[in-house]
Chain A
Amino acid sequence: MVKRLVVGAHYGFRDWLVQRVTGTVMAFFTVYMLVRIAALPAWDNAAWRALMSGGFTKFVTFLFALSLFFHAWIGVRDIWMDYVKPISVRLTLHAITLLALTGYAGWVAQILWRL
């Protein structure tokens, strides 16, 4: 096969936008959690459980986890794209990253919704 340099995958904008939106979600979640933790009546397991099992907290925590994983997917993929040149190695790393992050997302949901 002729070795040619090819660019023009016609994506990138959506990922860039997703990183901005997920970054905002994570920033909002950080502030929300700091305020809620500062307002905890006591620093014990019961108070922590009550906070984390609240409907809204569950909702935003799940959103935070998804945002983190989407954000991390784009960020880590960019690192592979910058530093790993052989396509086969890069594709393998992309797949491992995606699979690991998907697994983590399931794990987070399981922990969160058990409360």
Chain B
Amino acid sequence: MTRTVKFKIYRYDPDKDAAPYMQDLSVELDPSDRKLLDALVKIKALDDSMSYRRSCREGVCGSDAMNINGKNGLACLTDIDSLAQPITLRPLPGLPVIRDLIVDMTQFFKQYHSIKPYVVNNSPAPEKERLQTPDEREELNGLYECILCACCSTSCPSFWWNPDKFVGPAGLLAAYRFIADTRDEATNERLDNLEDPYRLFRCHTIMNCVDVCPKHLNPTKAIGKIKELMLSRAV
């Protein structure tokens, strides 16, 4: 049986619109349309000027992150029937809007790159590979799974106020992922890089990041572990 779902969608085309506005619309959905992304695909078929990013449609690429009824999430992982109507869709908060639900992620990725998201190891490479014990590998669980969708960083007030200076939860989770990696040799440099009132210490454990992460990761815990390491280095 088909059902009608009401939407309120943020629309802004800088080439045409003087200011952003909210568009009310309804869409007929089939029983097989279960996720929010299914509805967005239908809406796109009705009005091809409505723009959003999407790719894998299964919560792996992180493209379709948006603000859904006031909370950041991935359209492809969100059940339509779990949402109160009209379903209000806005672009991720705190980043410049390019068009409709598409935001400019430059600042977000700049912060991610600033923590050097790769293993730094200047020792001669072994014949096969750099090994880890199962326990050492275990430490990376809950860290490496981040898909960089930016749901966390764009829900963080500290990132809203200082997106150019605060690394943000996604970047800090990645920072700890490499600090925790036993194959990495740059722990001290990484801690030095974060020892800054803005880069790390803008985090006031508000925990919006934990609340919205579609992969159920915990950046606050990772940030706490970075602070613990700084403590054990200092005293």
Residues of A at under 8 Å CB distance from B?
5, 7-17, 78, 81-83
Contact = CB atoms under 8 A, between A and B. Distances in A.
6 contacts: A8-B196, A12-B197, A13-B234, A15-B197, A16-B201, A82-B162
B201 A13 contact: yes
Contacts of B197: 9, 11-12, 15, 78, 81
Contacts of B162: 81-82
B173 interface: no
Contacts of B52: none
A81 B165 CA distance: 11
Nearest to B233: A13
Contacts of B231: 13, 17
B199 interface: yes
A7 B165 contact: yes
* Majority secondary structure of chain B interface residues (helix, strand, loop or mixed): loop
Interface in B58-109: none
Given A17-B231, A82-B158, A12 B165 contact: no
B166 to A, nearest CB: 9
Interface of B: 158, 161-162, 164-165, 192-193, 195-202, 204, 227, 230-231, 234
Contacts of A16: 201, 227
Q: Which 6 A-B pairs have the closest CB atoms?
A: A12-B201, A12-B197, A82-B161, A13-B230, A7-B165, A7-B198
Contacts of B227: 13, 16
Given A5-B164, A7-B165, A17-B231, A12 B158 contact: no
Given A82-B161, A83-B161, A11 B195 contact: yes
Nearest to B234: A13
A91 B23 CA distance: 44
A7 B196 contact: yes
Contact of A11 (B158, B193, B196): B196
B201 A15 contact: yes
Contacts of B158: 82
Contacts of B164: 5
A81 B234 CA distance: 25
A85 B143 CA distance: 33
Contacts of A17: 231, 234
Contacts of A82: 158, 161-162, 202
Given A16-B201, A17-B231, A82-B158, A10 B196 contact: yes
A10 B192 CA distance: 7
A111 to B, nearest CB: 32
Contacts of A83: 161
B198 A81 contact: yes
B231 to A, nearest CB: 7
A5 B110 CA distance: 13
Contacts of B196: 7-12
A12 B164 CA distance: 17
